[in-house]
Amino acid sequence: MKIVGEKLESWALGQKDEAEKDLFGRSAFNRYYYAVFLSTRVMLGEFKASWRGTMHASIPDLLRTSVRKEVAKTSKAAARKGLISEAESSQIIQQHNVSVRALAGLLEDAYQVRIIADYEPEIVVHQERDVLSLDSHKLTSAKTWPDRAESYCKSIRKVWKELGLA
């Protein structure tokens, strides 16, 4: 998806026609969002198959509630059994929570931009120099979303593996 977003961004920047620039720019924002969504959905499916079908808007809450609780429960149980220390358990939970909160926030922010791109055509894509913007959101920032999401997912998976959850 990211590569599609990059191509759409390039096409949008090359358009002289403002309507075409707007269409390609909107589509680029969408592809960057979907790259984040899909990588998160794949990760969630690795944890629990039933989470693979979670609706877009529900994923941040799922991350903040069920995913966090499962890791905290498993980590604390490992500490009670003497498999890890209380300090290690606390550190694992904290590391996981930081990544989960960051990913959930990224998903929410990117989803809001996607909603503008899809449902608010009166808000047009503007170009200033070589940067496209939709409302106050820059496409150069959206381009970072997939890599940021992958980084958070990697950190979350690491914790899951340490605890034997994945």
Beta-bridged to residue 133, according to DSSP, are 126, 138
How far apart are the C-alpha atoms of 152 and 95, rounded to whole Å?
Answer: 10
What CA–CA distance (Å, rounded) separates 106 from 146?
10
**44-78: pLDDT as tens digits:** 999 999 999 899 899 999 999 999 999 999 999 99
CA distances for 54 relative to 38, 49, 62, 129, angstroms = 11, 10, 9, 39
CB atoms under 10 Å from CB of 152, counted, come to: 25
Section 148-165 average pLDDT: 96
Average pLDDT for the chain: 96
Could you tell me the pTM of the whole model? 0.93
Domain that holds residue 84: 1-163
Check whether 1 has a pLDDT greater than 90. Answer: no
Q: Which of 96, 100, 104, 97 is nearest to 60 (CA)?
A: 104
For position 17, what pLDDT does the model report?
A: 96
- Residue pLDDT, tens place only, 93-133: 999 999 999 999 999 999 999 999 999 999 999 999 999 99
Beginning with the edge strand found earlier in the chain, give each strand of the sheet holding 131-134 in spatial order: 125-128, 131-134, 137-138
Number of structural domains in the chain: 1
Judged against a pLDDT cut of 90, whether residue 166 lies above it is answered with: no
pLDDT exceeding 70 applies to what percent of the chain? 100
CB of 29 within 8 A of CB of 137?
yes
